[in-house]
Chain A
């Protein structure tokens, strides 16, 4: 697989899955726009890892929930690189609670970043892809969007929403050689899952046939495949990367 000369925007790339995606795509030769919302030290570290691989990295702070900030980021990317080939909508947060206890602001925050953020970024990145008649959009969903999870109704709704978004766009832009796919990670070892209790972890692992937590690289390699020419005839799909948990 080779992404030499391609330009990829990865949202939420300051840590976790986003960082692994940025580094993996960079390892295949893509230049990376490292987007982050607040974790600047992490974003700098990601871009160092990217540059160590001999490609260019552009760090850009933008809240994906804000169209204006997203537009500015994409414009800067275009100025810097002249193209955007790959967009990975990864930025995401959780605000877990059982529904009776879930505040409207927690519902809104999760939907605004996880789902509306993808709308903002995709809308802004589409223009150069349409012109180029080539594009790869990869939305990071979650197994929670497929099978639900108690205490995560906002997150599950947003992640399921991303799957519908993926499929609609796959139909809209197929004729322009722009593929749109989703990756649905299962139980991946990141900051987001670090707070799980040992008991919770043990119980979750008992339902994973591969018997281990996923790594961010496990997810990133699936993303890289979808971003490559090798996946040129795959669109509108959801690749589940969960060690077999949700079969």
Chain B
């Protein structure tokens, strides 16, 4: 769990150019971390690559917060 969170956090920090301390499980990508729709697409692509996943659109649309992304990875790894 902690390991996945750290790796997801690294991706988000790099992708969105935000401070690591702002990447909390309850943080919303759009509202708190300033992501636009293309950022989200790129995040999903990076998650797919890092964790060797295929994330269908209907699942990706449900990922709004950092914690949801982490949970998705844990559930599908």
Contact = CB atoms under 8 A, between A and B. Distances in A.
Given A127-B45, A130-B42, A173-B38, 5 more contacts: A130-B45, A172-B38, A175-B36, A175-B38, A176-B38
Interface residues of B, number: 4
Interface string B39-68: 000100100000000000000000000000
Interface string A10-29: 00000000000000000000
A205 to B, nearest CB: 46
Q: Which 8 A-B pairs have the closest CB atoms?
A: A130-B42, A127-B45, A172-B38, A175-B38, A176-B38, A130-B45, A173-B38, A175-B36
Nearest to A174: B38
Contacts, number: 8
Contacts of A173: 38
Contacts of B38: 172-173, 175-176
Interface string A217-234: 000000000000000000
Majority secondary structure of chain A interface residues (helix, strand, loop or mixed): helix
Interface residues of A, number: 6
Nearest to B49: A127
Contacts of A175: 36, 38
B9 to A, nearest CB: 19
Nearest to B45: A127
Contacts of B36: 175
A177 to B, nearest CB: 12
Interface in A154-184: 172-173, 175-176
A176 B38 CA distance: 9
B60 to A, nearest CB: 15
Interface string B19-46: 0000000000000000010100010010
